Amino acid sequence: MLVYQPYLHRKGLQLPPPTVHIQLPHLATSDMTANTTTVVTAYFDLGSFRKGSANNIFTKKTYDNWSAVFKYILNPLIVYTDSHEFADRMSHIRTTRNETTKIIVIQRNSSWAFNLRDRIFAIYSQKGYPKHYPNTVLPDYACSQIAKYEVLGTAARDNTFNTHYFMWLDIGYFRDRKSTTLFRLNRPPNFNENMVAMNLILFNANLSLSPEVIFKNNLLWIGGGLVFANRLTILAYENQFRQAVEYFMSLSLMNTDQQIIYAMFSVEGRIALKPATEIQAYKPPTEYNWFYLGYLMLHEESP
């Protein structure tokens, strides 16, 4: 289902309760819930850009290669992109699952996140603002990371496939998966329906650090590659996230969604923003395991 339409943003709702870190063994697939989840992803064509070290360059080809895994995902899928070429590629990849696929080509100037670009550019242009590639160098990259919550909220409001759960999944999340076995992404074990499930990256992150330190030092607590919750919680979290973005920008601070989330749940962030929708942080066996939660949710179909 390839849809060419302008992108419209609408407001969300409100919900609650506390950040919980849980460490779980991998459970047998029979123990996992089979309630259907809509997977949401997006690709915005930023051209080639440096990610971290000077010799680590991401290109459109990088994302094209990573997108191949979406052929094997059985969940309903919604893809947002500003690239007609990428839309056609995803349409081809999902040919056999056309009825459970919606691909939406959007204009960046109709997106709340991308309309923040000039303000983000001004923040990054401040004298002495630290340069972390591409997070605090390319305003469009920061916009693309903020946009994931916008499109996730839009997908939850529209609820094209009438599912209870929604999840954001980075294009490159399963980049290392070589199997061609079909799989489904199910609700994670011990999931709290009032929370948003995400992947813990740093076990003992200092939540007493100021938002300025978190943003300017590019610090991490939670990974933004996968975001999972029920429909109403997604809508509440989107609204909360937007408020956090606006608040930190008013302080002349910006980075990617990962720093926004860390700062939102810091001691100072909680006082200022009073976040009602909490993170359920799934703790991998080791730190900096970016993909633990996704593989915990992955259920392979029998051949």
Q: Could you give the percent of the chain with pLDDT greater than 90?
A: 83
How much is the pLDDT for 25?
A: 33
Residue with tokens 């990054």: 124
**Residue 17 pLDDT class (50, 70, 90 cuts):** very low
Q: How does pLDDT run across 184-239, given as a tens digit for each residue?
A: 999 999 999 999 999 999 999 999 999 999 999 999 999 999 999 999 999 999 99
pLDDT for 119: 98
Q: What is the pTM of this model?
A: 0.88
Q: What is the pLDDT of residue 3?
A: 52
CB 243 within 8 A of CB 113: no
* Rounded to 5°, angle at Cα 19 from 278 and 230: 40
Q: What percent of the chain has pLDDT over 70?
A: 88
Q: How far apart are CA 58 and CA 172, in angstroms?
A: 11
Q: Taking residues 96-108, report their average pLDDT.
A: 96
At 237 the pLDDT is: 98
Cα 278 from Cα 211, distance rounded (Å): 18
Per-position b or e across 263-284, b if 16+ CB within 10 A of its CB: bbbbebbeebbebebbbbbbbb
63 φ/ψ angles, rounded to the nearest 5 degrees? -70, -35
Beta bridge partners of 176: none
What is the token pair recorded at 15? 């919900």
Q: Of the candidates 166, 159, 155, which has an alpha carbon nearest to the alpha carbon of residue 297?
A: 166
Q: Stretch 58-86: mean pLDDT, rounded?
A: 96
Q: What is the mean pLDDT of residues 28-45?
A: 71
What is the pLDDT confidence band of residue 173, given thresholds at 50, 70 and 90? very high
In the block, residue with structure tokens 């009073």: 274
Task: Please state the rounded mean pLDDT for residues 261-274.
Answer: 98
Task: Report the phi/psi class of residue 17: left, alpha or beta, with left for phi > 0 and alpha for psi in -120 to 50.
Answer: left
Q: Which CATH class is domain 2-300?
A: alpha beta
DSSP string of the chain?
-EEE---------------EEEE-PPPPGGGSB---EEEEEEE----SEE-SSTT-EE-HHHHHHHHGGGGGB-S-EEEEES-HHHHHHHHHHTGGGGGGEEEEE--GGG-TTGGGHHHHHHHHTSTT----TTTTT-HHHHHHHHHHHHHHHHHHHH-TT--SEEEEE-TTTTTT------EEEPBPTT--TTSEEEEE--TT--TTS-HHHHHHTT--SEEEEEEEEEHHHHHHHHHHHHHHHHHHHHTT----HHHHHHHHTSHHHHHHH---SPEEEEEPSSTT-TTHHHHHHEEEPP-
Tokens of 61: 């080809």
Task: Give the tens place of pLDDT for each residue, 124-171.
Answer: 999 999 999 999 999 999 999 999 999 999 999 999 999 999 999 999
Distance CA 258, CA 211 (A): 12
pLDDT of residue 2: 54
Lowest mean per-residue pLDDT among 11-25, 67-81, 282-296: 11-25
82 closest CA partner among 64, 112, 106, 101: 106
Is it the case that residue 16 has pLDDT exceeding 50?
no
pLDDT band at 303 (very low <50, low <70, confident <90, very high): low
Cβ atoms of 105 and 129 within 8 Å: the answer is no
C-beta atoms surrounding 67 within 10 Å: 20
Residue 29 pLDDT more than 70?
no
Fill in the amino acid letter for 176. D
